[in-house]
Amino acid sequence: MKYRGEMKTSFLNDRQIQPSEFRKWEHARRQFARRGRDQETVDKYKEQIRQGGLKEPILLGVDDRDLFVRVSDGHHRAVALMELGIEKFPFHWCLIKAWSTPVQNGPFPYQLLEASAHKAPAKKSWSWW
């Protein structure tokens, strides 16, 4: 059975739980606002959250090379949570290895968030925009 935990939404920041598809969370917000379909998706999740909470957990990935924690799946859901100021969110997690990304059934390594709060954000040499 997959591990399902609850995480503080405040950890969704550019140091502790980073977006995997954007350099910063602000870039994700701006990109979603510019594209109507993306903004519709964020708005749909905001309505779902208001009516009963987030139904599909966000998938967090822990990279085995640098131990950074990133959102692997759920960027639209994460932005919706942040915009609504929701305190906690449900999540699953996976260990990102060079050859696989198995979803884990054991507890999340929360100590990585404390350590990453003091690390410089990961720099990416590529960009989607």
Residue 58: name the closest of 75, 79, 37 by CA.
75
DSSP structural state of residue 103: B
pLDDT at 29: 96
Q: DSSP letter for 117, please.
A: T
Topology of domain 5-116, per CATH?
3.90.1530
DSSP-derived 3-state class of residue 40: helix
| Residue 50, beta-bridge partner list | none
- What is the pLDDT confidence band of residue 122, given thresholds at 50, 70 and 90? low
In the chain, the amino acid numbered 77 is: R
Please, are residues 85 and 78 in contact by the beta-carbon 8 Å criterion? no
pLDDT in tens, 74-119: 999 999 999 999 999 999 999 888 777 777 888 888 888 887 666 6
Percentage above 90 pLDDT, the chain: 67
